[in-house]
């Protein structure tokens, strides 16, 4: 089996896609003793990695990948066909995109199809191909398999084909792979499933969960995400009611979650990243083709897409309530990444939050965005808004501090933020600021907005 080659240090693993997931997987397989070949279409990224420059938020991933490249245990390339020839295991981590969600949902399989074509050109008997990308159910067998079989080889008979969804969170992705969760695995046949499972047992200390079909494994991954999307929508709705009642949602939530069957999530500015906002659409796209309706899934997504605009409205109302003219005030939006202590801005709700402020007539020149991890952002630049990593600079002269991301840097006393501002109005949309001075908090019982507010149509793009 291929796992035996890994034990002897003779296994070559090609990783297709060197983003957040791909680099973490590269580190995991390198630590397991495999020779790793990283493949990516981004020429600049490959050039940087070739020179040992690994840009990643996790120290362990940076260190392991840099050491593997330096020692020759890992190489990187843009030539996916060559990588396929040189490897026995090929792992696909490239994204499947949402091309559109209105007026109808369109899924873009071009990246995963391109990776499969490159693999097919170097595919050999007894090789193993594993799809780890999050995909609509049926993708591995209906999109990837036909492309691979253009090689003249047949899945399960000549080569192995499996699906194993990535289950990582950037910030502790390598630990997620190696320690935190069992690995879900399924194959197009029993031989494929066992080859993949035997390999993953070598790196996943929590073991392997082997499902009966690839489609079930693809569905499982999306189920994880849509559960969280709906839960966050519920949290936002209940936080709105708690604020209307004048009580702390955070206090009530903590008490509710002391019951083992309650897992209420936190409210916030919306839902970001390349996962949770996308998975419901994959399921809706699939359901539409089967003639199945998913009204709750669609409603949860709509609610979370409207949330950044509600937060923008709340900020405007808070300023007016405190006697500040929003049209003339400096506004500091704290946090561009979609969640705390990472540099990942993909589909961040902060983008819609910024657009919401502009929709209310706020001039871009009056807005500054602060993020300690993000140095440059094309979307913010296009809006004409300044981005800085200096918190004091962002707050200097500001009348509003709007906390949009739960970075550790914002887990401070409200009074510490206020003393850096001109006429301080603090709107905490993530519930992270310690309220030792008056603030508006989404989960603390003081929030200047009703549930049924005007909701501009969210602007949607690719993942």
Q: Single out the residue of 174, 172, 196 nearest to residue 184, CA to CA.
A: 196
d(CA 207, CA 202): 9
Q: Which two tokens stand for residue 417?
A: 């933020």
Q: Is 128 helix (H, G, I), strand (E, B) or coil?
A: strand
- Assess contact for 399 and 424: CB atoms under 8 A: yes
Q: Which two tokens stand for residue 270?
A: 């919306």
d(CA 212, CA 398): 57
> What is the full DSSP assignment across 33-60?
T-EEEEE-S-HHHHHHHHTT----S-HH
Catalytic residue among 210, 215, 275, 317: 275
d(CA 385, CA 365): 6
User: Is the peptide bond preceding residue 103 cis, with omega within 30 degrees of 0?
Assistant: yes
CA torsion, ordered 315, 319, 321, 327, to nearest 10 deg: -110
Which residues partner with 187 through β-bridges?
A: 162
Catalytic residue among 183, 215, 221, 266: 221
N-terminal to C-terminal alpha carbon distance within the chain: 37
**Catalytic-residue membership of 463:** no
- Write the Ramachandran bin of 272: left for phi over 0, alpha for psi from -120 to 50, otherwise beta: beta
d(CA 359, CA 361): 5
- Assess contact for 165 and 208: CB atoms under 8 A: no
Active site (catalytic) residues: 221, 275
């Amino acid at each position: 089996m291929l796992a035996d080659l890994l034990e002897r240090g003779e296994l070559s693993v090609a990783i297709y896609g060197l983003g957040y997931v791909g680099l973490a997987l590269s580190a995991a397989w390198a630590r397991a003793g495999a020779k790793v070949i990283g493949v990516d279409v981004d020429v600049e990224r490959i050039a940087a990695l070739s020179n040992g420059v690994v840009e990643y938020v996790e120290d362990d991933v940076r260190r392991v990948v840099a050491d593997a490249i330096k020692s020759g245990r890992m190489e990187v390339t843009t030539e996916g066909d060559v990588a396929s020839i040189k490897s026995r295991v090929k792992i696909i981590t490239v994204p499947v995109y949402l091309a559109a969600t209105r007026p109808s949902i369109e899924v873009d399989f071009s990246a995963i199809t391109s990776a499969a074509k490159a693999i097919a050109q170097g595919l050999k008997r007894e090789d193993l191909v594993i799809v780890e990308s999050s995909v609509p159910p049926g993708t591995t067998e209906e999109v990837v398999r036909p492309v691979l079989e253009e090689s003249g080889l047949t899945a399960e008979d000549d080569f192995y084909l499996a699906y194993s969804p990535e289950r990582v969170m950037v910030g502790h992705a390598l630990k997620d792979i190696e320690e935190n969760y069992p690995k879900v695995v399924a194959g197009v046949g029993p031989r494929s499933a066992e080859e993949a499972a035997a390999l993953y047992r070598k790196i996943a200390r929590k073991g392997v969960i082997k499902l009966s079909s690839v489609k079930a494994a693809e569905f499982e991954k999306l189920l994880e995400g849509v559960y969280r999307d709906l839960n966050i929508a519920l949290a936002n709705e209940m936080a709105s009611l708690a604020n209307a009642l004048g009580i702390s949602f955070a206090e009530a939530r903590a008490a509710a979650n002391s019951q083992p069957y309650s897992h209420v999530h936190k409210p916030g500015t919306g839902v970001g990243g390349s996962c949770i906002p996308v998975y419901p659409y994959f399921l809706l796209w699939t359901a539409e083709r089967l003639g199945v309706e998913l009204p709750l899934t669609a409603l949860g997504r709509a609610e979370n897409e409207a949330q950044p605009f509600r937060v923008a409205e709340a900020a405007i109302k808070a300023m007016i309530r405190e006697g500040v003219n929003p049209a003339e005030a400096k506004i500091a939006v704290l946090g561009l990444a979609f969640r705390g202590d990472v540099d990942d801005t993909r589909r961040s709700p902060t983008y819609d939050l910024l657009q919401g402020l502009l929709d209310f007539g706020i001039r871009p020149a009056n807005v500054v965005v602060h993020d300690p991890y993000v140095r440059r952002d094309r979307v913010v630049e296009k809006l004409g808004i300044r981005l800085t990593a200096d918190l004091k600079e962002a707050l200097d002269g500001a009348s509003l501090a709007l906390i949009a991301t739960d970075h550790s840097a914002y887990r401070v006393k409200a009074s510490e933020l206020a003393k850096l501002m001109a006429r301080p109005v603090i709107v905490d949309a993530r519930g992270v600021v310690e309220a030792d001075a008056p603030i508006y908090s989404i989960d603390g019982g003081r929030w200047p907005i009703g549930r049924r507010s005007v909701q501009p149509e969210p602007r949607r793009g690719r993942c």
